[in-house]
């Protein structure tokens, strides 16, 4: 079974589930999941987890995303984009400067009402399925944050802009909200997700490109990101012998039985810090951790360098947090 994370460049006209279905055919395995739905008409970066990497879905979904969007002013639709039924049309009387001020006013924390045409579930049912049946249910506004809003072009009634946002934000809704603020309505005409976390379009591949690499027998390490890469903020330790067997079965082991992995691939610790300093950093929950709740975790490898999983320190032992064997 193939394990790791693919950075897919989703092309327009395909659903996110359609991407998964194609990849299941390419890799001949069922255990595949994506980290954030893209609308069928949208394109761009979609992170896809293969095999045991599906345990990373929630972890990878929490990062920021960046988009380039085209807002069409003067039109409001039921789906908040140009694919939907037109609800109203009004002339655009705002000046370019007023448009600029309106768009930039949404930078920062916002309360946003999730759209009915979305994959969000309420009461166990997807909103989009209810919307297609003409049912509208109450939704609670969610706090989202938009940052780094940049106007790229204003050619009224169209406005092209770039924006970074937190998890759960809808660019379609942002477009409609901008239109409402200007008094003429608005909807999204085009959307490209240009970045998810640290992964941008430059590192993404289309499904055809991925299929060609796979069929040619290209080493998977050249286009699939390994699982342990996403835990590289934690110090790396190595176990062997009976301790490795215990760890691979999810058992706990004494802290002293793990040694600093000096040859691990994602850190310069071997060059910049002594083994004692690396161990102390793990013991104290040092600056390898992104927040206090992430302290005391380590990456654990076996004697042959194979990644076992993430363990956490509890008193004098290490216990499993997430296994990848």
Owning domain of residue 278: 231-323
Q: Do 10 and 84 fall into the same domain?
A: no
Tell me the C-alpha distance between 311 and 29, whole Å: 28
Helices (H), the chain: 16-27, 57-61, 96-104, 127-132, 171-182, 207-215, 241-248, 269-272, 275-284
Q: Do 72 and 177 fall into the same domain?
A: yes
Q: Do 221 and 263 fall into the same domain?
A: no
Please provide the average confidence, as pLDDT, over all residues in the chain.
88
Give the single-character DSSP code of 115.
Answer: P
Q: Do 71 and 58 fall into the same domain?
A: no
Q: Do 86 and 157 fall into the same domain?
A: yes
Q: Do 203 and 59 fall into the same domain?
A: yes
Q: Do 248 and 185 fall into the same domain?
A: no
Hey, which residues are catalytic here? 39
Q: The domain that contains 260 carries what CATH number? A: 2.30.130.10
Give the model confidence (pLDDT) of 59-89 as tens digits: 888 889 999 999 999 999 999 999 999 999 9
Tell me the C-alpha distance between 242 and 253, whole Å: 10
Q: What is the mean pLDDT of residues 197-210?
A: 94
Q: What is the mean pLDDT of residues 302-308?
A: 93
Bridge pairing between strands 317-323 and 297-301: unpaired
Helices (H), 134-253: 171-182, 207-215, 241-248
Q: Do 98 and 175 fall into the same domain?
A: yes
Q: Which is more confidently placed, 42 or 120?
A: 42
Q: How many domains are contained in the chain?
A: 3
Domain boundary among 178, 207, 225: 225
Sign of CA dihedral 64, 51, 1, 267: positive
Domain boundary among 191, 211, 246: 191
Q: The domain that contains 91 carries what CATH number? A: 3.30.2350.10
pLDDT bin (cut points 50, 70, 90) of residue 284 is low
Q: Do 178 and 29 fall into the same domain?
A: no
Q: Do 218 and 281 fall into the same domain?
A: no
Q: Do 85 and 157 fall into the same domain?
A: yes
Q: Do 179 and 146 fall into the same domain?
A: yes
**How high is the pLDDT of residue 122?**
72
At residue 162's C-alpha, the angle toward residues 161 and 166, to 5°, is 130
Cβ-proximal residues to 97 (8 Å cutoff; 6+ apart), any chain: none
């Amino acid at each position: 079974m193939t394990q790791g994370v693919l950075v897919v460049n989703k092309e327009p006209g395909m659903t996110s589930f359609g991407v998964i279905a194609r990849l299941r055919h390419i890799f001949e395995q069922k255990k595949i999941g994506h980290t954030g739905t893209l609308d069928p008409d949208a394109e761009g970066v979609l992170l896809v987890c293969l095999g045991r990497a599906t345990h990373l879905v929630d972890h990878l979904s929490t990062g920021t995303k960046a988009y380039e969007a085209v807002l069409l002013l003067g039109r409001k639709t039921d789906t908040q984009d140009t694919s939907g039924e037109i609800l109203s049309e009004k002339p655009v009387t705002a000046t370019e400067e007023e448009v600029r001020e309106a768009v930039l006013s949404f930078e920062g924390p916002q309360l946003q009402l999730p759209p009915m045409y979305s994959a969000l579930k309420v009461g166990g049912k997807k909103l989009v399925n209810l919307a297609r049946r003409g049912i509208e249910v109450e939704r609670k506004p969610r706090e989202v944050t938009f940052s780094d809003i940049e106007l790229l072009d204003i050619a009224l009634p169209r406005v092209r802009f770039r924006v970074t946002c937190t998890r759960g934000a809808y660019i379609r809704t942002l477009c409609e909200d901008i239109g409402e603020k200007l008094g003429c309505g608005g909807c999204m005409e085009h959307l490209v997700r240009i970045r998810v976390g640290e992964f941008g379009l430059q590192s993404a591949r289309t499904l055809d490109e991925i299929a060609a690499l796979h069929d040619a027998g290209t080493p998977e390490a050249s286009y699939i990101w390994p699982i342990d890469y996403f835990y590289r903020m934690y110090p790396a330790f190595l176990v062997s012998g009976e301790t490795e067997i215990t760890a691979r079965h999810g058992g706990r082991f004494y802290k002293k039985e793990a040694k600093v992995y000096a040859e691990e691939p994602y850190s310069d610790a071997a060059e910049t810090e002594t083994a004692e300093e690396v161990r102390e950093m793990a013991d104290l929950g040092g600056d390898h951790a992104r927040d206090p709740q992430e302290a005391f975790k380590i990456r654990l490898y076996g004697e042959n360098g194979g990644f076992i999983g993430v363990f956490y320190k509890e008193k004098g032992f290490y216990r499993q947090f997430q296994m990848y064997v």
